[in-house]
Structure 1
């Protein structure tokens, strides 16, 4: 029965003991010329898709909108889900759910006004897709390749360690 204090306590105990998942949410953003936006984080080597980690109890689509606003000053109203990747534990990290959303095409004016607005991003650049993909870390590149294919074929994908099932 909802509102029963003993039932709520039982459920709260179960919630406290269940596994937690890390969640990342990234965006595919293209320029009018079809080039792909990447960002250069200050806290690690190499380039990334724009986006980042979700905060506690934050929906993935809210996380990517927040990250785009905080890091690039972009406000994105419309997102389309492209894929989610379950990544097994690796190195010091537990497993991860990595989401990729289509954040659309920026006009030339929007792209010109965009600038890193957070100390986590040193620069951003639009690359030809063939140039962008090799710049991404392996796991993120696998998600980006699948997400780009979803843009072409329209069917969202579930991935396991970057491989579509």
Structure 2
């Protein structure tokens, strides 16, 4: 027996079609996402932060909230943690790092955006404005390598290389796959 109405479901019953999509969406995987910043000073040093809730230094930025665009998350985190307001101009995406599940965490996408070079006034205005941070410091790449966990160092190194070349690095757990 054939269906008397051969039109696709989305045409003949939009409500049933939306319910079908919602059911599929509920079963699909959810990914955590974070947006970090590559920020340099006039001497070419990179900005690192010392989180109070983990054992090593990190890039400024943080996790996106539910349904929050990554750039909005980055801007929010920079204001919340360092009092740094970045203009609405787009920042270049320079690195995407897929991080496999580890410990209690599911997999995640870590995005690094090139914020550029801060002016002397912006640098002087930086302040720790959230208890999540103990300190911040501009570091040479050699200093950064010593302070960061190996996979975060790999992400930063790839982001710097990509930013300088005008490209985007794609990594899996800090390792290039391209």
TM-score after normalising by structure 2:
0.88
Residues 14-163 of structure 1 correspond to what in structure 2 (within 5 A)?
A: 14-77=24-87, 78=89, 79-163=91-175
| 4+ long deviations beyond 2 Å | none
Structure 1 stretches lacking a partner, 5+ long: none
Q: Give, in angstroms, the shift of residue 133 of structure 1.
A: 2.1
**Structure having the higher Rg:** 2
3-state secondary structure, aligned to 1:5: helix
Structure 2 stretches lacking a partner, 5+ long: 1-9
Instruction: For 1:142 and 1:19, locate their aligned partners in 2 and report how far apart those are by CA, in whole Å.
Output: 26
Instruction: For 2:15 and 2:131, locate their aligned partners in 1 and report how far apart those are by CA, in whole Å.
Output: 45
Q: Map Cα deviations across residues 33-68 of structure 1 (whole Å, 9 max, x no partner).
A: 111111111111121100000110111111111111
Q: Map Cα deviations across residues 77-132 of structure 1 (whole Å, 9 max, x no partner).
A: 23110010111111221111111110111111111111011111111111112111
TM-score after normalising by structure 1:
0.94
